[in-house]
Structure 1
Amino acid sequence: MKVAEQIREQIKNIPESQPFGYDALGIAPEDFFTAAKALERLVKKGTIKKVSKGVFYKPKMTIMGPLGPDYNAILNDFLYKNKKRVGYITGGVLYNQLNLTTQNYFRTKIATNRSRKKIEMGWLKTSTVKSYVEITEENYQLLGILDAIKDIKNIADTSTTKAIKILAGKLVNFEKPAIQGLLNYALQYPPRVRALLGAIIEDKFANVFDLETLRKSLNPTTTYKISIKKTDLPTIENWNIK
């Protein structure tokens, strides 16, 4: 079967509005160039529409005209690859979900293991950043917490002190393995994240966790300016935070 014919047959089985890429068409890498030309012809005919580079969809026709793509499915394409999580929502949208800010964000930032270009289509506007840690279904929520600690001084419509109190309040409800996971993953994050996490864990969990590895990962002469008072977080001096 010719590549163009194979593509047409595969597209017949793809639901309308469902975004798809080369992987959904069963195209061999050596046939990508031919496939690109075949898809380009289908776009010109209006059989399919292009979302972004390598991503297409079949428009669903209604009495009001063709519908756009399934935006949630497009977003999931950033978050999963072959049903394996490779990304997670971070930035302002996440911080709103964590109740750290009441501000609504119109651009969704995604941390990912893959290099992806941004999409601006309809209400879906995305940008991507590289994750500090390999992302899994088990750890992505912990990485979101560490992202919030990293951005603590720049979260809109809240003070640093308030944001730290909210995060600390969430951590006290975490199971012990989750806290240990935060400590382990934090070693891949910037020093200020390690210092602030250490101060929060030391304050909220006393001597429950061994913090020496985290402490030794920091330069003892470096001071971290996070704008929080000792009355709000008593352990900050132990981590050179001001």
Structure 2
Amino acid sequence: MNDSDDEMRQREQDRASGKLTDDTTKRSRVRNGESGDGRIEGRVPFGRVWDLQLEGKIRQRIQEAPLLSIIKLTDQPEYKDARIALEEVFDWLIRDGTLSQYRHNWFYRPKVGILGPRSPSQGEILRALMFAAGQRVAYITGPALYNQLGLTTQMPSVVTLATMQPIEKERLYLGGLRIKLIPARFDFHEEDIPALEILDALTALAKDPSLGSLDAYSILENPLNHIRKLVDKQPAGLKDRLVILAETYSAETRNAFAEMQLSK
């Protein structure tokens, strides 16, 4: 065997081991959809390359999320600096069946039940509206809150959310839920929500003792006393927070708060 044969054999061994990548090998990798730097071409417009590292990060997050949980595009850490690449990854994950799209910028891990594909629950939809990037941004208020607090037995047809997020559409219909979005009074912390719920209920009672109910029997006989008992069961810090936050409400609400404290 001559020297050229030995060189060719060594070249093939080096190529197989990854030590050598000639132009022919590079062209082969591109034909198979992989660029020289390990990014996939063909999934994006001509002139752009596929970011395998970003795809890997997103796939890992999705695998860690429960089935049917909502994953928002805007919650991803890369959204601000790499929005276009992120949108391309999510679009690809829809095409390969890893994700399903629920609405604009909302996705979820699909699950098939006995009766076919399932959708996120109403509770999951509300959670997606009340949290952004892991932070609480909204809370339930209005008739649904009064029902939760035990002030009324009437089931509301609309769930009202007070939100710190920009409101693009005031009324939504998602997963059989009618949802109304209203601006929060101010930017709050999650620990403020129990106090805000109490003050919202007192505000409603000050305006309308029937809480808008058409059925008098669905309203407690002494709602202020009921609220006072709810407050008494809470940590002492809640009362202090109530006093502070009450100053941001109307005089009628503050009067109802004072009356509640005296109720028996």
Q: Aligned match of 1:50 in 86, 101, 112?
A: 101
What is the CA-CA distance between 1:113 and the residue it aligns to?
2.4
Q: Aligned match of 1:101 in 152, 176, 190?
A: 152
Distance in 2, Cα, partners of 1:13 & 1:179: 39
- Contact 2:198 / 2:227 at 8 angstroms: preserved in 1? no
Q: Aligned match of 1:85 in 136, 141, 144?
A: 136
Q: Which residue of 1 aligns with 2:67?
A: 16
- Which moved further from structure 2: 127-136 or 116-125? 116-125
- Contact 1:112 / 1:135 at 8 angstroms: preserved in 2? no
Distance in 2, Cα, partners of 1:126 & 1:56: 19
Q: Aligned match of 1:188 in 248, 252, 263?
A: 248
- Contact 2:196 / 2:245 at 8 angstroms: preserved in 1? yes
Residue aligned with 1:29, SS: coil
Distance in 2, Cα, partners of 1:5 & 1:134: 34
Gaps (5+ residues) in structure 2?
Answer: 1-38, 40-50
Aligned residues: 202
Give % identity: 25
1:122 and 2:175 correspond: yes
Residue aligned with 2:107, SS: strand
1:136 and 2:196 correspond: no
Distance in 1, Cα, partners of 2:77 & 2:70: 15
Q: Which residue of 2 aligns with 1:74?
A: 125
Q: Aligned match of 1:5 in 37, 55, 68?
A: 55
What is the CA-CA distance between 1:96 and the residue it aligns to?
1.0
What is the CA-CA distance between 1:104 and the residue it aligns to?
0.8
What is the CA-CA distance between 1:98 and the residue it aligns to?
1.9
What is the CA-CA distance between 1:109 and the residue it aligns to?
1.3
Change (3 A) 1:131 1:144: same
Change (3 A) 1:132 1:163: farther
Q: Counterpart of 1:29 in structure 2: which amino acid?
A: K
Deviations 1:77-117 (A, max 9, x none): 23334544332211111111222222112322122222355
What is the CA-CA distance between 1:184 and the residue it aligns to?
1.5
**What's the TM-score once normalised by structure 2's chain length?**
0.63
Q: Which residue of 2 aligns with 1:171?
A: 228
Distance in 1, Cα, partners of 2:125 & 2:187: 21
**What's the TM-score once normalised by structure 1's chain length?**
0.67
- Which moved further from structure 2: 66-75 or 130-139? 130-139
1:205-224 correspondence runs (5 A): none
Distance in 2, Cα, partners of 1:173 & 1:58: 38
Q: Counterpart of 1:106 in structure 2: which amino acid?
A: S
Change (3 A) 1:67 1:114: same
- Which moved further from structure 2: 75-84 or 27-36? 75-84
- Contact 1:93 / 1:105 at 8 angstroms: preserved in 2? yes
What is the CA-CA distance between 1:192 and the residue it aligns to?
2.2
Q: Counterpart of 2:252 in structure 1: which amino acid?
A: R
- Which moved further from structure 2: 69-78 or 185-194? 69-78
What is the CA-CA distance between 1:57 and the residue it aligns to?
0.6
Change (3 A) 1:163 1:183: farther
Deviations 1:8-45 (A, max 9, x none): 45434433211112366542522112322442454466
- Contact 1:101 / 1:157 at 8 angstroms: preserved in 2? no
- RMSD over aligned Cα atoms: 3.1
Deviations 1:35-85 (A, max 9, x none): 224424544665422223321112212342111124323322233345443
